[in-house]
């Protein structure tokens, strides 16, 4: 049987505060975002593994604060005063930075405090575990209000799977959610990947999204990792 050609038309993920599923693994991060603008200082940092929800919460805050968003890699060339002039900014994925980027981030932190602006940083590692060479910057990052997001538990992972299917306007049985939650890697990124793969396989093969189809997808993903 010929497979149907699949066109990736994309879908629109829900990034509102009401769409974020709160669990013990992320409650502190949600509380930090919800407490703005009453932060203990002008800047704060969220940390957690890929797919843990940092970008979702950062997007919630971006909308609330009307913030400008950049990647940490852009710090080498960014106009720091112009970024601070936006009154609120997000720098995502702070990790190993060039010397120029470290100096720019230190300058950004200083100007943010000086001009009564706000800054939200995200990183995979906690502030004390980011390899920063500039001592003053390392000290400044460790002093920021910080909340970590952990890997989702069973209930949260199931809720994430339901949300990801809903984002694609797909209705699936509860048995499928339970099957996937028990077998995929415990991360939002893995949930996103398997939902996308099931959607593609269902469209291309004109098959419903069922446990047998999920078993095929997971078996295929396992073979790809060998």
Is 90 exceeded by the pLDDT of residue 160? Answer: no
Q: What is the pTM of this model?
A: 0.73
Q: How far is 138 from 19, CA to CA, in rounded Å? A: 34
Average pLDDT over residues 132-155: 92
Domains annotated for the chain, with CATH where assigned, are 17-148 (3.40.50.300), 154-225 (1.10.8)
State the number of CA atoms in the 13 A half-sphere of 208 facing the CB.
7
Alpha helices in the chain (DSSP H): 27-35, 54-65, 80-85, 99-114, 135-143, 154-167, 174-181, 188-205, 211-225
Instruction: List, for residues 161-194, the tens digit of each pLDDT value.
Output: 998 999 899 999 999 999 999 999 887 778 889 9
């Amino acid at each position: 049987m010929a497979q149907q050609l699949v066109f990736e038309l994309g879908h629109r993920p829900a990034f509102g505060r009401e769409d974020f599923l709160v669990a013990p693994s992320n409650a502190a991060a949600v509380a930090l975002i919800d407490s703005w603008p009453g932060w203990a200082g002008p800047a704060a940092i969220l940390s957690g593994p890929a797919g843990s929800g940092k970008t979702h919460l950062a997007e919630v805050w971006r909308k609330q604060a009307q913030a400008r968003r950049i990647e940490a890699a852009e710090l080498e060339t960014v106009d720091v005063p112009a970024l601070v002039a936006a009154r609120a900014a997000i720098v995502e994925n702070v990790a190993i930075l060039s010397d120029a980027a470290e100096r720019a981030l230190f300058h950004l932190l200083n100007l943010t405090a000086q001009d009564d602006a706000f800054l939200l940083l995200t990183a995979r590692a906690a502030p004390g575990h980011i390899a920063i060479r500039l001592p003053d910057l390392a000290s400044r990052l460790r002093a920021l209000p910080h909340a970590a997001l952990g890997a989702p538990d069973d209930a949260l992972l199931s809720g994430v799977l339901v949300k990801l299917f809903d984002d694609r306007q797909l209705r699936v049985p509860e048995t499928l959610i339970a099957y996937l939650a028990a077998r995929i890697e415990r991360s939002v990124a893995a949930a996103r990947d398997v939902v996308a793969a099931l959607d593609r396989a269902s469209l291309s093969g004109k098959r419903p999204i069922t446990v047998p189809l999920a078993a095929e997808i997971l078996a295929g993903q396992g073979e790809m990792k060998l």
